[in-house]
A and B are shown apart, each in its own frame.
Chain A
Amino acid sequence: MNVPTAYYDSSRRSFRVFEEFVELWRYRELLGQMIVRNVKTRYKRSVMGVAWTLLNPLLVMAVLSLVFSQLFLTLNFEHYPVYLLSGLVLWNFFSQSVMSSMNELVWGSNLIKRIYVPRTIFAVAAVGTALVNLLLTLIPLAIVMLVLGHRFSTALFFLPVAIVTASLFVLGMSLLLSTLAVFFTDVIDMFHVVLTLWMYMTPVMYPKELILNRPEPIAKWLLDLNPMYHMIEVFRAPIYLGWVSGYKTLLAAILCSVVVFVAGWVAFSLKSDQFAYRV
């Protein structure tokens, strides 16, 4: 015990933004365990357990398909469940991550006041958990594609890039919003409402042509400025259309995610010292 295994000097600090990366890497073991815990405990008391993760999107999809296929009869949608599910999966990834990272930082704050862990770990674990759920729901998606006889194209190999892009964006949003939520708790409720509005403004359940065909030019701008639209496009194209989306959409998505991620990480790590004073 002569050589201390750790050294902490409150007055000495490297650049916080990088320090946080290093610390997160040191605590990767904890990160893994937190994700495993989240996945395990989510349906812990239910009879079917993790099976719900797979079943849940299937059932939601069944309901929505039933409703929307009646609504959009005129549009002559081929394999609408695949279109719907591929969008829904990514949207859920986004909303779940942001909501739970805000909640964990604000309400699960017991830990943050008692013991040192890198503060970003809460957001990263929330996104990681949602990512695991996303990957799990790809299974029912594949089942639906099989059942409907949808074509599996080689473009599917592009999917990992789409997922990484989306993850960066989602993590950035989670960090930004949880920073805000620490200072103003009602951001959580506010964002809940915003999220609903946002979802209906994004072509998740309906075809994008519904917006693009509108006469007002503002409709198209809104769509172009909507980062989730680009994320979903990039993710959906290999699955539903069987090709990699155009470079413009791809560029927009990657740019969005990098900017949001950097902004979120910087804002969060600069403010993180104040969290324990606030929560």
Chain B
Amino acid sequence: MTDRSERGHAPAEAVIELSGVSVCYRLPKEKITSFKEFAIRTAQRRISYENFWALKDVTLSLQRSEMVGIVGANGAGKSTLLKTVARVLRPTQGRVVVRGRVAPLLELGAGFDYELTGRENIFLNGALLGLSRAEMRKRFDGIVAFAELSDFIDAPLRTYSTGMVARLGFAIATDCEPEVLIVDEVLAVGDEQFQQKCRDRMRSFRDAGATILLVSHNANQVQAQCDRAVWLEHGRVKDIGPAPVVIRRYKGFGDEAAPDDGFEGYEMPGDIDITEEADSPPPGALLLDEPFAAAPVEETSVPIAEEAAPAEPGPGASDEPFPAEPEPPVEEPPPPVRVPQTVNARDTYFGIWLWKYLQTLSTCDVPVLVFPGDSPVPGAESHLSHRQAAVLLCAALGWLPKQKDRTGEREDTFLNELARRGIGLIPGPDRTDPNEPLTRAELAVLLCRVNAWSPVAPRGRFEDVPPDSPFAGYVEVLAEREITLGTGQNQFSPDAFISWRHAAIWLEKTFGVARAVSEVTS
């Protein structure tokens, strides 16, 4: 386990890494811009400064092919964050590492000279981004075509409309193929058609391996376009995670009554009744729909029952009943659980994942991949394979494999999707069977990696997780976030295979989609 996981879990090199970044503006309490005033006040020792921390202890890492949105109120530090990445501000504390060329999509006008023609501006902007004249000459036609400016390219920029200037800026910044693109609220310009073109280009750009950092006041835009979102508040990271999850919390911000109510406001296309879904399977999902559709109805009830009941010593024998840890009611008799005739997906944490799961499968038209080796239906205590884990994670994050990716085995598209995003290819090169079950430690690492949670120094809360093991830092993250409480008696059982039941609990706690288990069962 140890040596194979070392390879599998080695973190991919992040394109952008911020660790403990703080930016402090030292503001004089009164603004002194005149030399005379400064001299007088210095002599009188009357200058008092106020430290304003525009960013405080921001830790963040972005992988290749990732699009991350930053949301937050005005003055939350969004633009300052971009500036530290764009190398404009050197952080007061902490460290910024950027591996690759950065192209900031400049706000309207910056970097352009309005007296020069469009043609001349293209070369000037290229040079600003660090490209030579010869390189720009090669890209010139493509830029002009994308910006739809071929008729005006030799007219001075001052004759352009705002939309034309924005188009030119976008075309140049994205044509230069930087590894990192920084977009600060500029896409609101231009007509709807061009905006769509921009979105398409950003997507293909990202798929080609670029990392995109987007700042927007428009939370919907972030949710629609980004993989992950960062919510900044007063210069600190308030929340970070998959875009839909963060945006939901961000929008609900201020609604103190139900700050963490996972379900309310989560955008689901209506109440999905899984039984009904099964009756009329979506056209793409023919192969597995039948056994699958039958599954949730029965299976969703099983884990519920088992959550409250003492867990049977299942295949992962070391797995103590995990949800029972916080309180000792493990020994209490299980409350009677009614098996509903139709299971509303919203009602069970397990059901919602299965529902999402289903949805992903049908959307992606790859229904076969799910349980080829295992039992046709996932039982709550059956093991989760690597392949299944990949599907669950991708489904949770909305990372749907693209059609064109499906070159190899159909089953491995989700695994490939994770690999494409630089999240540990499990199984690694030496583990060729994706149907092998996943251990608890492996899922812990995977969960952290998809959320880009960096490992922290283990505090030794689990006796069976040696602090020098490659997964210890990740397990600690999950423990800190109270996603896992271990298997009881300071044990984590890292090498035990994870059951569907526990995986569902972890996922639920990580992505916060479902209601608490107790609410469902009671």
Contacts and interface: CB of A to CB of B under 8 A. Distances in A.
A115 B86 contact: yes
B116 interface: yes
B98 A8 contact: yes
A4 B209 CA distance: 11
Contacts of B107: 114
A33 B104 contact: no
B41 interface: no
Interface string B102-129: 1010110111010110001001100111
Contacts of A45: 115
B83 A276 contact: yes
A7 interface: yes
Interface size class of B (residues with CB under 8 A): 35 or more
A5 B33 contact: no
Contacts of A113: 83, 88
Q: Which residue among A11, A113, A277 has the maximum number of chain B CB atoms within 10 Å of its CB?
A: A277
B97 A8 contact: yes
Interface string B1-34: 0000000000000010000000001100000011
B116 to A, nearest CB: 6
B88 A6 contact: no
A187 B110 contact: no
B97 A9 contact: yes
Interface in A94-132: 110-117
Interface string A4-42: 111111110000000000000011011011100100110
A58 B89 CA distance: 45
A182 to B, nearest CB: 10
Contacts of B177: 1
Given A113-B83, A114-B88, A187-B35, A1 B209 contact: yes
Given A1-B209, A10-B96, A112 B127 contact: no
Given A6-B98, A45-B115, A184 B90 contact: no
Given A10-B97, A41-B115, A184-B35, A110 B110 contact: yes
B125 to A, nearest CB: 9
A9 B133 contact: no
A192 interface: no
A276 B127 contact: no
A156 to B, nearest CB: 34
Contacts of B83: 113-114, 276
Contact of B115 (A44, A112, A184, A273): A44
A277 B25 contact: yes
A207 to B, nearest CB: 35
Interface string B30-49: 00011110100000000000
A204 to B, nearest CB: 27
A39 to B, nearest CB: 12
Nearest to B88: A276
Given A5-B179, A114-B107, A190-B35, A10 B84 contact: yes
A226 interface: no
A185 interface: yes
Contact of A114 (B34, B86, B97): B86
Contacts of B123: 33
B111 A111 contact: yes
Contacts of B291: none
A115 B104 contact: yes
A224 interface: no
Q: Chain B: interface secondary structure?
A: loop
B378 interface: no
A29 B132 contact: yes
A223 B101 CA distance: 51
Interface string A227-263: 0000000000000000000000000000000000000
A116 B127 contact: no
A178 to B, nearest CB: 14
A4 B100 contact: yes
A277 B54 CA distance: 11
Contacts of B120: 37, 40
A148 B246 CA distance: 79
A37 B107 CA distance: 20
B137 interface: no
A50 B111 CA distance: 23
Contacts of A29: 127, 131-133
B406 interface: no
A38 to B, nearest CB: 9
B91 interface: yes
Given A115-B111, A116-B102, A10 B35 contact: no
B87 interface: yes
B466 interface: no
Nearest to B100: A4
Contacts of A37: 113, 116, 120, 124
A30 B26 CA distance: 32
B454 to A, nearest CB: 17
Nearest to B99: A4
Nearest to B36: A186
B87 A8 contact: yes
A190 B39 CA distance: 15
B130 interface: yes
A238 B102 CA distance: 49
Contacts of B102: 6, 8, 116
Interface in A161-187: 184-187
A114 B106 contact: yes
Given A6-B100, A187-B35, A190-B35, A117 B110 contact: no
A258 B270 CA distance: 75
A114 B110 contact: yes
B179 to A, nearest CB: 6
B407 to A, nearest CB: 19
5 contacts: A1-B100, A9-B97, A10-B91, A29-B127, A184-B34
Question: Can you list the 7 inter-chain pairs with the closest CB atoms, starting with the nearest?
Answer: A116-B87, A30-B127, A10-B96, A4-B100, A11-B95, A41-B115, A184-B35
Given A6-B179, A186-B35, 13 more contacts: A1-B177, A4-B179, A5-B179, A6-B99, A6-B102, A26-B130, A29-B127, A29-B132, A32-B127, A41-B116, A184-B33, A277-B25, A277-B26
